């Protein structure tokens, strides 16, 4: 065997043993550092338990997500970790119908009896907005993610509640929908700056959009945070090296990946477990992109 370089057929062995020691992970954007940090927690935890991870990028496309789900099932993976491409639950229903162990990660799909590993997006939206309110900002723009995603709605709802509790109106013109990407944040910020009464602060619902918003502000000669405060959401590694370093609501990304992998392994070991929901806390990380309003 050594002389000929023989390698056992892993797929044939998995069919015989009904176990491949592989886990499938589907993310909507592998270029986003947020998902890379989640994946690291998943991979480290899975590898320590004897599993390898196959990473698939749906690019936020439901059809592509469906193709990858079929591929992973053909590969005889032992379980799947899914960050959903959108609001459709068809892929999850398909996996559940095949009795394949599954954990939904980061993006919730309400109404399904399935394991979930999530963070508290609503509270994160409250925390971000309250931070800006404490600096006396009263016109606070909000750059959201895709409307169909529950986490986008939850962060915006937190923003709305914080404004309401502060006795401030919620101005729909200050809420601009985008796509969780830096270019999207750049364009959304430009739209906010064109308002008759532009905001003095922006809550971007992820760090990439916040970095894009800062870029748009600097192009117009605005100083961050002297004339515009910006806060993000996620605390990706790049947030520390933004110019200026980005104030953000941190999600425990590695811990989220670790929790999701642990839940999946437990589900694979005991398929009869009742569906579980792990909700991890968010925390405020104050850096130099936010300051008192001088308008």
Token pair belonging to 257: 């990946």
- How far, in Å, CA of 159 to CA of 284, rounded? 14
| Beta carbons of 35 and 208 less than 8 angstroms apart | no
Residue intervals of the chain classified under CATH 3.40.50.2300 are 10-119+252-279, 121-251
Quick one: pLDDT at residue 114?
A: 93
Domain 121-251: which CATH class?
alpha beta
- With a CB cutoff of 8 Å and minimum separation 6, the contacts of 197 are 139
- How far, in Å, CA of 293 to CA of 116, rounded? 39
- How far, in Å, CA of 233 to CA of 61, rounded? 23
Quick one: pLDDT at residue 14?
A: 45
| Beta carbons of 109 and 99 less than 8 angstroms apart | no
- How far, in Å, CA of 28 to CA of 208, rounded? 15
Quick one: pLDDT at residue 12?
A: 47
- How far, in Å, CA of 103 to CA of 121, rounded? 18
Which of 44, 43, 53 has the alpha carbon at shortest distance from 21? Answer: 53
Which of 153, 178, 180, 235 has the alpha carbon at shortest distance from 28? Answer: 180
Give, for all 295 residues of the chain, the pLDDT tens digit: 566 555 555 444 444 446 789 999 999 998 899 999 999 999 999 999 999 999 999 998 989 999 999 999 999 999 999 998 887 777 888 888 888 999 999 988 888 889 999 999 999 999 999 999 999 999 999 999 998 899 999 999 999 999 999 999 999 999 999 999 999 999 999 999 999 999 999 999 999 999 999 999 999 999 999 999 999 999 999 999 999 999 999 999 999 999 999 999 999 999 999 999 999 999 999 999 999 987 6
pTM of the predicted model as reported, rounded to 2 decimal places: 0.90
Residue 237's alpha-carbon distances to 207, 250, 268, in angstroms, are 10, 10, 32
User: Which CATH number is 10-119+252-279 given?
Assistant: 3.40.50.2300
| DSSP symbol at 262 | H
Quick one: pLDDT at residue 6?
A: 54
| DSSP symbol at 100 | -
């Amino acid at each position: 065997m050594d002389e000929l370089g023989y390698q056992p057929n892993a797929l044939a062995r998995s069919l015989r043993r009904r176990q491949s020691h592989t886990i499938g992970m589907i993310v909507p954007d592998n270029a986003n550092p947020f998902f890379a940090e989640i994946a690291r927690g998943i991979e480290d935890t899975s590898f320590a338990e004897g599993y390898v991870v196959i990473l698939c990028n749906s690019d936020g496309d439901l059809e592509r997500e469906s193709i990858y789900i079929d591929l992973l099932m053909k590969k005889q993976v032992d379980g799947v970790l899914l960050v959903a491409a959108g609001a459709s639950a068809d892929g999850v229903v398909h996996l559940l119908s095949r009795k394949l162990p599954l954990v939904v990660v980061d993006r919730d799909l309400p109404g399904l009896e399935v394991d979930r590993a999530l963070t508290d997006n609503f509270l994160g939206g409250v925390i971000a907005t309250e931070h800006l309110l404490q600096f006396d900002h009263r016109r606070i723009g909000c750059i959201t993610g895709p409307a169909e995603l529950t986490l986008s709605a939850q962060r915006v709802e937190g923003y709305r509640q914080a404004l309401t509790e502060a006795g401030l109106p919620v101005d729909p013109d200050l809420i601009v929908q985008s796509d969780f990407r830096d270019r999207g944040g750049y364009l959304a910020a430009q739209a906010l700056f064109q308002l008759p009464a532009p905001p003095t602060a922006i809550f971007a619902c992820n760090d990439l959009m916040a970095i894009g918003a800062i870029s748009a502000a600097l192009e117009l000669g605005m100083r961050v945070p002297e004339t515009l405060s910006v806060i993000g959401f996620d605390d990706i590694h790049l947030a520390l090296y933004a110019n200026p370093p980005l104030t953000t609501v941190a999600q425990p990304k590695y811990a989220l990946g670790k929790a999701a992998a642990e839940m999946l392994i437990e589900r694979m070991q005991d398929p009869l477990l009742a569906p579980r929901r792990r909700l991890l806390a968010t925390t405020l990380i104050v850096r130099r992109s936010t300051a008192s309003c001088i308008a």
